[in-house]
Structure 1
Amino acid sequence: MDQILNQLGGLVLGSVPTMVLFILLVVAYGLIVRRPLDRVLAERRARTSGALEQARRAIAAAEAETAAYEEKLRHARVEIFQMRDKKLKQWNAEREAALAQARQQTQDRVHGAKQEIEQSAHEARLQIAGMSEELSSRVLNAVLPAGVQAAEVAQ
């Protein structure tokens, strides 16, 4: 067993320089590779998260602009519809005024035509009344003898 212990002691003593070299290698790795790598990774994370934050801000700004444009578009549409309704009302009012004027002119013409017809009818009645007396005297002259007519006319 002593022999095993001596062999183990020799192995451990022989591995001391290897352990020292390994520890130096780990420390050198930490100083030369690990710290710069961690620094570069941290800077990369900062840039990436900064770029992501900047992209989020740009997206938010674009959404705000889009909302503003949509609001302006809605306002413009409302204004266009109001102007269209105003024009339609104006055209309807003009049409109604023209129709009212045409109705009034037509009513005036009809009234004038009725007055002319009544005047013509009145004149025709007067003419008929005048002619009826003449016709009745002619009929009497033709039907009755001359002596009977003179006696009746005197009465």
Structure 2
Amino acid sequence: MDEILRQLVPLVIGSVPTMILFLVLVIAYKFLLHGPLLKILAERRARTEGAVERAHAAIAAADAKAQEYEAKLRAARAEIFRARENRIKAWNAERESALATARQAARDRVNAAKSSLEAQAATSRQEFERGADALVADILKAVLSGGSLPGNPVAAEESH
């Protein structure tokens, strides 16, 4: 075992400069590469997370704008629908008014025509009654006098 220790001592002493160089390289790596690399990675992660957060914020803002536009669009459609309904109601009212006016004018013409017909019928009745009275008078004259009736061909032939 002594022999092993004797052989090991010069190896350990020969490896001391390598160990020191390794420690110096580890420390240099830690300060020169690892620290700045961690800083850059942390900064990159922060930027990435910030970009993701900004993207989420932009998406939320876009959704809010889209909902606002949809609400405005629904309001505009409702307003157009109300205006259309009001126009249709106004047109229907105008049509009903025109129909009522036309119906009233037709009733007035029918009543005027009825009145005119009744007046003509009354005039015709009176003329008929006068004509009938005159005819009756002529018939009575002819019968009582034994003469012929005017316009009666049979009586006119008998009298010749």
Structure 1, unpaired ranges of 5+? 148-155
Amino acid at match of 1:10: P
Q: Secondary structure at the match of 2:8?
A: helix
2:69 and 2:136 mapped to 1: Cα distance?
98
What is the Cα deviation at residue 141 of structure 1? Answer: 4.4
Output the TM-score relative to the length of structure 2.
0.84
2:144 and 2:81 mapped to 1: Cα distance?
94
- The percentage of aligned residue pairs carrying the same residue is 52
2:94 and 2:145 mapped to 1: Cα distance?
76
**Partner of residue 102, structure 1:** 102
**Partner of residue 37, structure 2:** 37
1:101 and 1:93 mapped to 2: Cα distance?
12
Amino acid at match of 2:66: T
Structure 1 segments, 4+ long, off by >4 Å, are none
1:145 and 1:31 mapped to 2: Cα distance?
164
1:9 and 1:141 mapped to 2: Cα distance?
187
What is the Cα deviation at residue 145 of structure 1? Answer: 5.2
1:77 and 2:80 are equivalent in the alignment: no
1:134 and 1:34 mapped to 2: Cα distance?
146
Amino acid at match of 1:61: A
CA RMSD in angstroms, aligned pairs only: 1.5
2:25 and 2:144 mapped to 1: Cα distance?
173
1:50 and 1:134 mapped to 2: Cα distance?
123
What is the Cα deviation at residue 2 of structure 1? Answer: 2.3
**Partner of residue 152, structure 2:** none
> Between Structure 1 and Structure 2, how many residues are aligned?
146
Amino acid at match of 1:146: S
Q: Secondary structure at the match of 1:45?
A: helix
Show CA shifts across 1:33-88 (max 9, x none): 00110111111111111111122222222211111111111111111111111111
Q: How does 1:1-155 map to 2 (within 5 A)?
A: 1-142=1-142, 144=143, 146=145
**Partner of residue 149, structure 2:** none
What is the Cα deviation at residue 94 of structure 1? Answer: 0.7
Structure 2, unpaired ranges of 5+? 147-160
1:62 and 1:140 mapped to 2: Cα distance?
113
2:86 and 2:145 mapped to 1: Cα distance?
87
